Amino acid sequence: MQKLTSKADLKSAIKLSEEEQSIKMKLLKKQFYLTLESYKPVNLITGTLNDIAKSPFLVDNLSGTAIGLATGYLSKALIVGTSGSKIRRLIGTVVQFGLTNIIAQNSDSIKSFGRSIFRNLSRKREMNTA
């Protein structure tokens, strides 16, 4: 800061400082309201859901888990059936958890295997129609 020698220079410096403080206060208030708006529950939930939707890894993990759960549930239904036997229900539950874990952990290879089977079937169908 330069040395002020006259009363007019001092007044000018004070006025400049007050204007600078006013601008900074307006910016601070604006930032406060933006921050306050971003921490509203609706905006937090919306932001989180947008992040989830944009995450490809999470979508892949969820699809693998969903496939695993569905397969486990179906295997239990096939094993237990309409039987009321406790041993059959226990075995069905063990098989359900086992298949769910195996399929959820290896979902990528299972998906690629399914895609290759689908491609082979569609090629055979095209060759038969041609």
* pLDDT, tens digit (0-9, with 9 covering 90-100), for 48-107: 888 877 777 776 677 777 888 888 888 888 887 777 788 888 888 888 888 888 887 887
pLDDT at 105: 80
Mean residue pLDDT across the chain: 83
Q: What is the pLDDT of residue 130?
A: 64
Q: What is the pLDDT of residue 77?
A: 83
Q: What's phi and psi for 5, nearest 5 deg? A: -110, -25
Give the pLDDT of residue 59.
Answer: 66
Residue boundaries of the structural domains of the chain: 7-54, 56-129
Q: Please give the Cα distance from 63 to 118 (Å, whole number).
A: 18
d(CA 115, CA 127): 18
